[in-house]
Amino acid sequence: MDDLIKRAAADLSAAARSVALTGAGISVESGIPPFRGKGGLWEKIDPMEFAHIDAFLADPEKVWTVLIREMKEIIDRAAPNAAHRGLARLAELGRLNTVITQNVDGLHQAAGNTDVIEFHGTFARQRCLDCGTGCDTAEIDMSVIPPRCHCGGIYRPDCVFFGEMIPPGHLARSREISANCDVMLVIGTSATVQPAAMMPYIARSAGATVIEINPEPTPLTGDISDYILTGPAGEVMDRLVTAVEAAG
Ligand code: OAD
């Protein structure tokens, strides 16, 4: 593993443009459970019953009670971990241009990354289903579920539900960045949800080196990934950043 990390760090140091694609696994060490795999949210609840836009619109109170309120409590308690801090350090060193994240927890920005594409939106903002007014999630009155706007309409988080489109600008920019990077770090994603999962394929087919960090294999492992750094994101990122710093 030491040698792999050293070689991956050398590629990262030599890259003119690099990008990270992150998923729920990068926030596991911050106390936010993933969706799939051991302890995953979708083991406990059916995403089609609670995370599909039709389910939300049919019964917002149920989805707020079972899913969104709990997400708020978990995200409120979470702070960036060593992996988020590692990506912020890489950006500070000029070794990382952009983070494309499938996460809605805001932890990359909290760690200090400034160019972050929130592919599935953000939990930090809400918008009213009726009048469209937006507000910070921190400001909404949670004493009544579902929370309501001053116009009486129900709030929804500014996240992408199943059945909704990725914001077109986010998708277009992510594709472009992926097609033009030299190195893509793929951290903590099962790489199973489209269209985010296509970014490593776009990068690889344009000639980029793909560095995957995950304790478990994914569909990218052995096919798309040039380096497979097996382990929890925080520990592996610490070692990778140290190696990049040593490479100068
Ligand atoms: P998943 O929950 O599908 O996958 C989490 C990945 O993180 C798995 O590959 C785990 O092996 C890995 N993992 C677990 N612990 C880890 C750790 N400590 N360090 C690094 N990796 C670890 O999450 P995503 O791929 O992000 O979409 O899921 C994609 C989308 O599916 C989410 O954005 C969400 C979900 O449905 C929407 O809500 C639209």
Question: What digits encode the pLDDT tens for the residues 160-218?
Answer: 999 999 999 999 999 999 999 999 999 999 999 999 999 999 999 999 999 999 999 99
Q: How far is the CA of 32 from the centre of ligand 1 (A)?
A: 10
CA 165 from chain center: how many Å?
Answer: 17
pLDDT of residue 55: 97
What is the amino acid identity at position 39?
A: G
Q: Which of 21, 30, 36 to mutate to test the pocket of ligand 1 (most atoms within 8 A of CB)?
A: 36
The Cα–Cα gap between 2 and 57 comes to 50
Q: How far is the CA of 133 from the centre of ligand 1 (A)?
A: 30
Grade residue 10 by pLDDT with cuts at 50, 70 and 90: very high
Residue 120 is a catalytic residue: yes
Mean pLDDT of 34-51: 92
Q: Which of 35, 49, 118, 123 to mutate to test the pocket of ligand 1 (most atoms within 8 A of CB)?
A: 35
Question: What digits encode the pLDDT tens for the residues 154-170?
Answer: 999 999 999 999 999 99
39 pLDDT higher than 90: no
pLDDT of residue 59: 97
pLDDT of residue 148: 96
What's the whole-number average pLDDT of the chain? 96
The Cα–Cα gap between 32 and 25 comes to 9
Mean pLDDT of 136-161: 95
Q: Is the Cα dihedral 52, 54, 57, 59 positive or negative?
A: negative
Q: How far is the CA of 248 from the centre of ligand 1 (A)?
A: 32
pLDDT of residue 2: 87
Helix (H, G, I), strand (E, B) or coil at 118: strand
| Percent of the chain scoring above 70 in pLDDT | 100
The Cα–Cα gap between 47 and 159 comes to 14
Does ligand 1 have an atom closer than 6 angstroms to the CB of 27? Answer: no
Strand positions, DSSP E, the chain: 18-22, 98-101, 116-118, 121-128, 134-136, 155-159, 183-187, 209-214, 227-230
CB 188 within 8 A of CB 37: no
pLDDT of residue 228: 97
1 pLDDT higher than 80: no
The residue whose CA has the least distance to atom 16 of ligand 1 is: 25
The Cα–Cα gap between 74 and 195 comes to 26
114 pLDDT higher than 90: yes
Q: How far is the CA of 189 from the centre of ligand 1 (A)?
A: 4
Maximum alpha-carbon separation in the chain: 60
pLDDT of residue 222: 85
Listed in sequence order, the DSSP H helices in 93-164 are: 107-111
pLDDT of residue 248: 73
pLDDT of residue 103: 98
Mean pLDDT of 35-40: 90
Q: Which helix (H) or strand (E) holds 170?
A: helix 168-179
- The model's pTM is 0.96
Q: What is the dihedral of CA 133, 136, 137, 143, to 10 degrees?
A: -70
